[in-house]
Amino acid sequence: MATTMAMKVVDFSFQSIAGKLERMLEEEASLLAGVEDDVRYIVAELKSIIAFLTNMSTRRNLNDRMQNWVREVREVAYDAEDSIDEFECHLRSTPYDELGAKGLFMRFCHCLKSLKARHSVASELKKLKVEVEDIRKRHDRYSHPNEATSFATATGLDMADRYSDPRIIRHFVEEAQLVGIDQSRDTLIEWVMDENCLDLTTISLVGFGGLGKTTLMKTIYENPIIVGGHFQSQAWITVSQNYNIKELLKKIIRQIFINEQQIRDVSGCRDASLNTEQLLNMMDESQLVHTIRGHLHGKRYLIAFDDVWSIEAWESLHISLPPGKKGSRVIVTTRNEEVANISCSRNHQFIFKVSLLSFELSWELFSRRVFQALDYHCPPELINFGRKILQKCDGLPLAIVTIRGLLASKPDKNLEEWKELCDHLSFEIETNDMLSKINQILILSYNDLPYYLKPCFLFLDIFPEDYVIRRKRLMRWWIAQGIVSGVGGLSAEKVAERYFKELVSRSLVQPSEFDENGTVKSCYIHDMMLDVIISISKKENFVVSLNEQSNIPPQHQKIRRLSWHRKSSGLVPADTDLRHLRFFAAFGKHVPLKDYRKQRLLRAIDLEGCGNLFHRHPKSFSKLCLLKYLSLRNSELLELPNSIGDLQNIEFLDIRGTFIEELPNTIVKLTKLVHLLSGPYLKVYSLKIYRIRAPGLKVPKGIRRLKKLRMLGMVCADNVQSLQEIGELVDLQKLAICFGIYGLHLARGMPEEISTLLSKLNGSLRSLIILHLADGNLNKTLDEVASPPLLLCKLKIDAELGGLPAWIASLKQVVKINLRRTRLPLQDLQVLRNLHSLVKLVLGFHAFDNQDLVFVRGGFTHLKFLEIHCHSVSFQKGAVQSLQILKMTSFTGYSVDGIEHLHSLREVHIYTEKEDIIEMVKNIAANHSNRPKCVVATDPYVI
């Protein structure tokens, strides 16, 4: 399995190198004088190797020699890319834009360096040609039939086939039905037996490996109510990853008891000497389908398809099942949400997401076998270790049942053995034969990934255990590292979105938060799945993660991606070779790296949350000419140095949550910058002096030169020139902008220029945040926008308006609106209720001038999230019928009424100091038809 991963990673690496060399041939031909033929030879050979590796990626359980060869190929690929990037780094590093003698001298030095770089790349390319020729020889040797095809085991079975065996899977999860299954089983049986639904209906059970989907389906399939004759024909078919559609169709025929004469009629064979099996073997796929459809036509049948991995498999099987109105049912288990969606395309209400067990149910499942006493009593000295083991299992029945089996096999409940297992559980799962089945089941999901998702998924090894992963952060890492790029007219961001959705769909990452569009905003990785990732990543030298349990890698290992966790033992030793480092992320206050000048190949640095940066770190970034991604978010940094302008390839710069109030003038040299993000208004401590940070970042003259910017803000525009320059950034999709200074009026000409700015950006803006700090009303300024940005999806206004601009009513695509200090009249609530795409509405402090808000029947047709601060609120019957989450901050003097009328409500969050409101909300939630979750807090930041 690890070999398959290696093949895919190498495949990706060679494609990257071949693409870079081809671009160099096209764009920098003069710089490759004398080695053009070598480059063309290398490109051709690399493409040949890619084809070979793609073919080999379908083979599993390769011998040791082949695995060693793959590792060598991978390192050659990485080394080759390092050489090419080093050349590009020398070539493209331009001297500082100086005039006079100093500038002339610097340009002369740069020319000398370019000559040296040309000589260096010629030498490196010749070496690479020799390496590639050697790879070709190995390719010829290992593609010999006796070598390349000897991948089967002694039993003749492929490794994946053994792991896909449903008998093995059921062996590990069958006892999970003893706890926590009753409610799920009863719901599903109700769906199966529903007499009001007579059309052929598919029910899909979806979730990642080891949750007990097969067990749950088995309890339904074998339930006495169903077995007792309700269905005229039944069949259970296990599909798995490596299926043969003809064999599966034959299994259906055997189980639904089609008589031999029917088979003869379809096949047209009259030879009486042939038995049923021989007849089936003679039939083609279409005949088998025709046989099944003919037999099931007009009958009420139940077919169970277990472990369906692909849409193709589902469609090939589903075509054999005739529709009808007899109440027939098809039940599917799958790890892939796309399969569930396609199979239940007629009615998505029959998609059942199998969830992890609660800790209480996990403990019950764990203790029932480990402790044989009737009360399943756990000795007090073992409770702590047992709980820690279950925390690692995180509700996964497969892991719980397997680990408990190991502990139950030891008659003496030895404290030291439990402690040893608890402290080294990941290692035991990887090496212990009894526990290795957990990884074998989970790794099937890896095996099913297409090659382009392999490196994306391995990137998850960078995050610490139990870390909440933001979708956008992960996607931007992929793009900066070059493993995701634009294709077929789609931008790199769109491709990354698709890749992330596919990982979610395959149940490989678990959603933890959704945005107003229902898109996964953040996610996490199950601990057991993370262990599998770490194991593969370590073998393939994909990521080196330093934490409290890891050791510094050996000196001969070339570290290309480094992740430092806050629980790590300390700094990276000075003699560690980091010259090949391409990616570095730190999770914690203290960063192990202080100087980055020698890590010239770095493409991405993420120092979010690190507190010891100050001046030293940013100054050393200036030598990183290949750097595309730099995050200093929440790093307590005071300023950026002028040398930041040397990062000619930077595309993403995040300085949110820092003390930086002004950008250096050299920032305008970063013409490839796409995302420039600074933080919102913050109150912070700096050098023991209480200070209030400016709410927006001051931008220098010349910001208009950053033509590729798509995200900008929060920026402070306190003069006409700044507004005019920002208005020339016509590709801006997201803009957060602050106008004016506290206690002062807008400067002359600024109101008109604000209107002009929004008109200039009307075709590109999708997200707009406006913060107005100066005295005076902003309503007229916004109301007079000649061509308003009507394509906005998100809008936040923190400014005094007195009334909504007329064009707000025409925002047909807006899904989120946040209003604060706007002091609107109550009639503007009618404007908001008629925005039919609106999903989330936040009404902050003084959003409305009248503090008593009444939501009447009708309107707000798609509103699911409503957040209200410092307003009394009441809901009449029929109001806000789609509302699912209600959040309120209600101090003394404010009230809430009518929550019982919100029939779709799922969650109520309230911050208040009034005991009567707390009790009222709790009582309403307890008696509400939906029994919504109720969260009450006295700290507004908890809400």
Q: What six digits make up the tokens of 866?
A: 């409503």
How much is the pLDDT for 160?
38
How much is the pLDDT for 157?
32
How much is the pLDDT for 806?
94
More reliable by pLDDT, 22 or 569: 22
Q: Return the sign of the alpha-carbon dihedral for residues 171, 172, 176, 181.
A: negative
Strands 510-514 and 520-524: antiparallel
Reported as a pLDDT band with limits 50, 70 and 90, residue 106 is very low
Q: In this model, does residue 51 exceed pLDDT 70?
A: no
Contacts of 586 (CB under 8 A, 6+ apart): 563, 564, 592, 593, 606, 607, 610
For range 530-538, the mean pLDDT: 88
Alpha-carbon separation of residue 724 from 694, 740, 756 (angstroms) = 21, 15, 8
Of the listed ranges 120-129, 234-243, 606-615, 809-818, the one predicted with least confidence: 120-129
Of the listed ranges 687-696, 752-761, 906-915, the one predicted with least confidence: 687-696
- What distance in Å separates the CA atoms of residue 61 and residue 171, rounded to the nearest whole number? 24
- What distance in Å separates the CA atoms of residue 465 and residue 61, rounded to the nearest whole number? 30
How much is the pLDDT for 125?
63
How much is the pLDDT for 703?
94
How much is the pLDDT for 567?
60
More reliable by pLDDT, 896 or 297: 297
How much is the pLDDT for 91?
60
For range 261-275, the mean pLDDT: 84
pTM reported for the whole predicted model? 0.84
Reported as a pLDDT band with limits 50, 70 and 90, residue 701 is very high
How much is the pLDDT for 14?
56
User: pLDDT digits over 613-652, tens only?
Assistant: 765 667 788 888 889 999 999 887 888 888 899 998 999 9
For range 915-929, the mean pLDDT: 77
User: pLDDT digits over 279-336, tens only?
Assistant: 888 899 999 999 999 999 999 999 999 999 999 999 999 999 999 899 999 999 999 9
Q: What six digits make up the tokens of 442?
A: 């989970």
More reliable by pLDDT, 51 or 123: 123
More reliable by pLDDT, 504 or 182: 504
How much is the pLDDT for 2?
42
Of the listed ranges 121-130, 344-353, 922-931, the one predicted with least confidence: 121-130
Which of 234-243, 483-492, 726-735, 747-756 is the most confident on average? 726-735
User: Whats the size of the chain, residue-wise?
Assistant: 943
More reliable by pLDDT, 136 or 919: 919
Question: What's the number of CA atoms in the CB half-sphere (13 Å) around residue 842?
Answer: 16
- What distance in Å separates the CA atoms of residue 585 and residue 859, rounded to the nearest whole number? 47
Reported as a pLDDT band with limits 50, 70 and 90, residue 770 is very high
For range 4-21, the mean pLDDT: 53
CB 767 within 8 Å of CB 792: yes
Reported as a pLDDT band with limits 50, 70 and 90, residue 600 is confident
Measured CA angle at 94 (ends 92, 97), to 5 deg: 155
Of the listed ranges 434-438, 568-572, 700-704, the one predicted with least confidence: 568-572
Alpha-carbon separation of residue 257 from 260, 276, 319, 321 (angstroms) = 9, 11, 19, 15
The alpha carbon of 610 is separated from its chain's Cα centroid by a whole number of angstroms, namely 23
More reliable by pLDDT, 889 or 32: 889
Of the listed ranges 732-736, 737-741, 761-765, 853-857, the one predicted with least confidence: 737-741
How much is the pLDDT for 50?
60
How much is the pLDDT for 913?
74
Q: How many CB atoms lie within 10 A of CB 374?
A: 6
Reported as a pLDDT band with limits 50, 70 and 90, residue 886 is very high
How much is the pLDDT for 752?
92
How much is the pLDDT for 636?
78
Q: What is the mean pLDDT of the chain?
A: 81
CB 409 within 8 Å of CB 433: no
For range 477-482, the mean pLDDT: 92
Q: In this model, does residue 415 exceed pLDDT 80?
A: yes
DSSP character at residue 796: E
The alpha carbon of 308 is separated from its chain's Cα centroid by a whole number of angstroms, namely 23
More reliable by pLDDT, 142 or 761: 761
More reliable by pLDDT, 559 or 614: 559
How much is the pLDDT for 590?
76
Reported as a pLDDT band with limits 50, 70 and 90, residue 148 is very low
Share of the chain above pLDDT 90, in %: 37
User: pLDDT digits over 773-804, tens only?
Assistant: 877 889 899 999 999 999 999 999 999 999 99
More reliable by pLDDT, 934 or 656: 656
Reported as a pLDDT band with limits 50, 70 and 90, residue 685 is very low
CB 287 within 8 Å of CB 266: yes
Q: In this model, does residue 222 exceed pLDDT 50?
A: yes
Q: What six digits make up the tokens of 230?
A: 């309700």
CB 886 within 8 Å of CB 866: yes
- What distance in Å separates the CA atoms of residue 872 and residue 889, rounded to the nearest whole number? 10
Q: In this model, does residue 857 exceed pLDDT 50?
A: yes
How much is the pLDDT for 850?
79
Q: In this model, does residue 834 exceed pLDDT 90?
A: yes
Q: How many CB atoms lie within 10 A of CB 448?
A: 16
Question: For residue 544, which of 593, 594, 584 has the smallest C-alpha distance?
Answer: 584
